[in-house]
């Protein structure tokens, strides 16, 4: 069992190296790994269950009782990012409304379920992340059409029942099951079962990233100048999403749990739902900006995970330094008084 846990720790520690390899493998071998997309909902369910084993109903309720952090994350993800995407997309690609529509659509979809996995790896706030995913998904049948109507003048109808069904089986039921197991076993789920399942969760995450990357194979292998420009734009803009979340966590004076959760929830999007909407309601050209996030999101998540660890390590060192200085001053003062 110890070796199994060490394997999970190794994968988590080296995700920054595994992720680019997974993306490249998926792009280059779509015929091999493409069929694995059929099990993606099952993979999400396992990840959510394992992550929820560390949570309690009381923690989840506390998020909604004191919703400031949740509201900040949702405002950045569901309002600020789509508006910024529209403004910058218009500046750089205003002559092609299809590309602008794709850029806006990518950042109008809900927070990605996989953010729950990244939050777990980098010791984020699980209940806050779970609440953010649930709320953004529940409100998406309203927020997506509203955002596209206000910014683009586009009128679409979202399959609310389909999205709710996906949320039920990938997020809600697995999360409920994980919390119930933890509550009924008085912490055994958190202390024993979750660590035992964690390596499996991280291993199947590698499969998930590889399978999802196959969707971009056709575009990447037939890249042209315009697609390259769009891809570079999406790379920079996707990076900004993680940055805005990290900045918001800093402004709220958060430690690593809040910084990780805010950064991942603001940076990671449910691209598959955006691709479905793009294919159904917009010209084919719109799909490319939406799918571009598949190439960059997970690599950026791994990169920002290391950034967050570095920032928090510096904060810890600074606090320890200040405490050491304060203790030294107190000792000096005592010595003077006693002398």
What's the pLDDT tens digit per position in 270-295? 887 888 788 788 887 888 888 888 88
Which residue has tokens 């691709």? 275
Q: Given a cut of 70, is residue 154 above it in pLDDT?
A: yes
Counting beta carbons within 10 angstroms of the beta carbon of residue 145, is it exposed (0 to 12), middle (13 to 18) or buried (19 or more)?
Answer: middle
Kindly report the CATH number that applies to the domain delimited by 2-213+225-338.
Answer: 1.20.1530.20
Tell me what pLDDT residue 318 has.
59
Tokens of 284: 């084919």
Tell me what pLDDT residue 258 has.
94
Angle at the Cα of 211 from the Cα atoms of 208 and 214, rounded to 5 degrees:
145
Tokens of 266: 């603001």
Report the distance separating Cα 260 and Cα 251, nearest Å.
14
Report the distance separating Cα 37 and Cα 144, nearest Å.
24
SS3 at position 275: helix
Q: Given a cut of 80, is residue 263 above it in pLDDT?
A: yes
Q: How confident is the model at residue 130 (pLDDT cuts 50, 70, 90)?
A: very high
Express each pLDDT in 27-68 by its tens digit. Answer: 899 899 889 888 888 888 888 898 888 888 999 999 999 999
Least confident of 143-147, 180-184, 273-277: 273-277
Comparing C-alpha atoms, which of 188, 198, 246 is closest to residue 46? 198
Residue 163 zone, left/alpha/beta (φ > 0; ψ -120 to 50; rest) = alpha
Report the distance separating Cα 237 and Cα 197, nearest Å.
34
Give residue limits of the domains in the chain.
2-213+225-338
- The number of CA neighbours under 13 Å toward the Cβ of 269 is 35
Q: Tell me the average pLDDT across 165-191.
A: 88
Tell me what pLDDT residue 317 has.
63
- The number of CA neighbours under 13 Å toward the Cβ of 150 is 12
Tokens of 227: 């697609």
Residue 299 gets which letter from DSSP?
A: H
Tokens of 21: 């390899």
What are the CA-CA distances from residue 31 to residues 8, 272, 337 (Å)? 28, 19, 79
Find all residues with CB under 8 Å of 147, minimum gap 6, and list them.
Answer: 78, 82, 104, 108
SS3 at position 12: helix
Tell me what pLDDT residue 339 has.
56
Find all residues with CB under 8 Å of 130, minimum gap 6, and list them.
Answer: 48, 51, 52, 55, 60, 116, 171, 175
């Amino acid at each position: 069992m110890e070796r199994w846990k060490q394997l999970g720790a190794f994968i988590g520690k080296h995700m920054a190296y595994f992720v680019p390899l997974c993306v490249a493998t998926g792009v280059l071998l779509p015929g091999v790994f493409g069929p694995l997309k059929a099990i993606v909902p099952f993979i999400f369910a396992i990840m959510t269950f394992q992550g929820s084993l560390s949570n309690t109903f009381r923690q989840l309720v506390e998020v909604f009782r004191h919703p400031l952090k949740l509201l900040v994350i949702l405002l950045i993800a569901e309002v600020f990012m789509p508006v910024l995407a529209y403004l910058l997309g218009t500046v750089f690609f205003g002559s092609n409304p299809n590309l602008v529509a794709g850029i806006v659509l990518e950042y109008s979809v809900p927070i990605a379920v996989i953010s729950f996995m990244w939050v777990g790896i980098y010791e984020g706030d699980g209940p806050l992340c779970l609440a953010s995913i649930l709320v953004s998904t529940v409100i998406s049948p309203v927020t997506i059409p509203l955002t596209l109507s206000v910014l683009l003048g586009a009128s679409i109808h979202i399959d609310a029942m389909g999205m709710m069904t996906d949320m039920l089986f990938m997020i809600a039921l697995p999360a409920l099951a994980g919390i119930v197991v933890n509550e009924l076993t008085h912490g055994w789920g958190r202390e024993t079962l979750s660590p035992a399942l964690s390596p499996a969760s991280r291993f199947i995450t590698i499969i998930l990233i590889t399978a999802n990357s196959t969707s971009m194979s056709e575009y990447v292998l037939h890249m042209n100048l315009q697609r390259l420009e769009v891809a570079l734009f999406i790379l920079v803009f996707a990076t900004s999403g993680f940055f805005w979340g990290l900045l918001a966590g800093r402004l709220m004076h958060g430690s690593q749990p809040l910084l990780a959760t805010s950064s991942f929830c603001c940076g990671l999007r449910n691209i598959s739902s955006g691709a479905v909407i793009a294919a159904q309601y917009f010209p084919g050209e719109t799909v490319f900006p939406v799918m571009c996030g598949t190439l960059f999101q997970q690599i950026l998540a791994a990169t920002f995970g290391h950034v967050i660890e570095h920032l928090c390590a510096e904060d810890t060192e600074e606090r320890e330094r200040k405490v050491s200085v304060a203790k030294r001053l107190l000792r000096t003062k005592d010595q003077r008084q006693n002398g």
